[in-house]
A and B are shown apart, each in its own frame.
Chain A
Amino acid sequence: MAGSNPNAKPMNLTLKVWRQQNRNTQGNIVDYQVRDISPDMSFLEMLDVLNEDLLRKGDEPVAFDHDCREGICGSCNLFINGRAHGPEPGTTTCQLHMRKFSDGDTITIEPWRAEAFPVNKDLSVDRSAFDRIIQAGGYVSVNTGGVPDANEIPIPKSIADQAFDAATCIGCGACVAACKNASAMLFVSAKVSQLALLPQGQVERKTRVENMIAQMDKEGFGACTNIGSCAAECPVGISLENIAILNREFLAAKATSNNLA
């Protein structure tokens, strides 16, 4: 293996994994042993080893979500040892490596918990509530046509950077999973402030924040109490400042929009 550490000793670990047949059944924690885990493996590769063992024994493998395994898709969402995406800050589960653990460790692995995020099976969670919030207003409407010139709309670098920072949200849901109130405010605020900062977002600025907050409440997410767990656990470092921007946008929209509902 290129880049691997020849001195790294393989590890034996005890895993406490949440197993649940489907949405309608009760789940429980099941203990598993995994052996000869390389410290160079990612956390998901370690779970792949577990699943291969389970398949060999004729047991059902543990269901977990994953896609790009590059830290950008937001699929691999696991609550590891009491922390969203594990104890390493600024990291998705796929980018968490086994070198962060020690031989003989016990690792508890659970799915995201929130009323709005039902467990599909084992560690796999339904996050379609996020999709419906984005559908409610997290977009800009543009007429299709020829490709516009790159510099047709001037945007100052500082504004572009701030909008881009908000746009890096990968929608993984760690904010909801970590929040004491299962609030989706950090997720919603990232999209609202990204688009409120940019000229393209101005047309739908007021309806966007009103509709996204209405959908957020409808999905059953909690309210923000500014404890800051979301930003601390966010793998891409979305700042709490976005929530203040969201509050400001909401207040301004409610006070001045033409929407009487």
Chain B
Amino acid sequence: MSWLSNALTSSIGRKIIMAVTGLFLCSFLVVHLVGNLQLFKNDGGAAFNIYSHFMGTNPVIRTLEIGLLLGFAFHIYEAVALTGKNRKARGGQGYVANHIEQNSPWQSRNMGLLGTIILIFLLVHLYNFFYRARFGDLDPDINNNADLYTLVVSSFHQWWYVLLYVLAQVALCYHLIHGFKSAFQSLGLTHRKYTPLVTYAGYAFAVLVCAGFAAMPLYFFFQ
């Protein structure tokens, strides 16, 4: 199987892994966003807590969770590996004058920075909600489900927490604007008819998903 490992560790192979894991993580964003829209239901969090109980206990979801973790792990690992390789390729002596901003978009050049901001957010986010819902001792709600809703609402009343969330969604938005269409390019899925559609779909996806996520902390903060 050395042909497979050789293929996947070549510069194109690593980009293909980035693309596949990136699109997989995009699918996760959709599921996460749609589920969390239940926060907006005006029932004191009953529906949201039923949903979060289901997500924390259903065996199918728990199995997919391992896949999700692997998706993140490979995406981050390949990003670090590619960044190291690319830095080395650029060489020790840089340009005295370099106006790369004149020939490429900012977000395309700063995917590593944007990804790092998203990762920091993710760690805070996982600790505060995921860890405490799964391993913490949240009080039960009226249906005897762990009351994650109350924790979410109280977290989103802190201004710095809301700020962190909104900034992370801006970073995610720029990350997706480049990443979505870039994934199709890396997989060789380009066509004169469809590539413009992919580009627009990428913009729409990035803006809609991130605006949806950012609306949650803002809704509770200004409620």
Contact = CB atoms under 8 A, between A and B. Distances in A.
Nearest to B9: A217
A83 B103 contact: yes
Interface residues of B, number: 43
A226 B96 contact: no
Contact of A254 (B3, B90, B96): B3
A124 to B, nearest CB: 15
Interface stretch (A32-40, A149-157, A238-246): A238-246
A223 B14 contact: yes
Contact of A223 (B85, B109, B187): B85
Given A82-B95, A113-B95, A181-B89, A226 B185 contact: yes
A99 interface: no
Interface of A: 16, 18, 27, 29, 79, 81-83, 87, 108, 110, 113-116, 178, 180-183, 185, 213-214, 216-217, 220-229, 232-233, 240-241, 243-251, 254, 259-261
14 contacts: A79-B98, A81-B97, A108-B96, A113-B94, A115-B90, A180-B100, A183-B89, A220-B88, A223-B11, A223-B86, A225-B111, A226-B181, A227-B109, A247-B185
A180 B185 contact: no
Given A227-B105, A243-B185, A246-B188, 20 more contacts: A81-B97, A82-B100, A87-B99, A110-B95, A114-B90, A183-B11, A183-B86, A213-B10, A225-B15, A225-B82, A227-B108, A229-B100, A233-B103, A244-B190, A248-B188, A250-B10, A251-B12, A251-B187, A254-B3, A261-B6
Contacts of A247: 12, 15-16, 185-188
Contacts of A246: 12, 188
B85 A222 contact: yes
B49 interface: no
Contacts of A217: 10-11
A241 B91 CA distance: 27
Contact of A225 (B95, B182, B189): B182
A110 B96 contact: yes
Contacts, number: 150
B90 A180 contact: yes
A208 B131 CA distance: 50
A115 to B, nearest CB: 4
A73 B178 CA distance: 34
B98 A82 contact: yes
A59 B188 CA distance: 52
Interface string B64-96: 000000000000000000100110111111111
A130 B14 CA distance: 22
